Amino acid sequence: MKIFRIVPLFLLASLVRAEAPWGHVDLQAAPELHQKACVACHARMYGGDGSTMYTRDGRMLSNRLELLQRVAACNAQMNAGWFPEDEANVAAWLNKLYYRFDN
């Protein structure tokens, strides 16, 4: 009997995750996180304020999931100490400002 309760929850969770890889986000929290952990590195790599990283020709990201994965990788590489919710906030914010991925 218990398996019948678990399977529908699993299916529902997989549908929600496929629809929105970062789930519910707080876009107002993202700019401060981005400023503290990302801007200095991006400025060293690309000059100026570093935002050309997001708008340059030949950028390698093609969807929201790849963006979320990239943010998570940068978090780990820079040892920013973000929680998954922080990563989701920043990824969604970057998507809104620069990438505009539908998928």
Q: pLDDT tens for residues 40-60?
A: 999 998 888 888 888 888 878
- Encode burial over 33-50: b for 16+ CB neighbours within 10 A, e otherwise: bbeebbeeebeeeeeeeb
Instruction: Indicate the residue type of 100.
Output: R
Q: What is residue 96's DSSP assignment?
A: I
Mean per-residue pLDDT for 78-96?
95
Predicted structure pTM score: 0.77
Q: What is the pLDDT of residue 13?
A: 44
- What digits encode the pLDDT tens for the residues 26-39? 999 999 999 999 99
CB-based burial label for 74 (10 Å; 0-12, 13-18, 19+) = middle
Residues 6+ apart with CB under 8 A from 78: 37, 38, 41
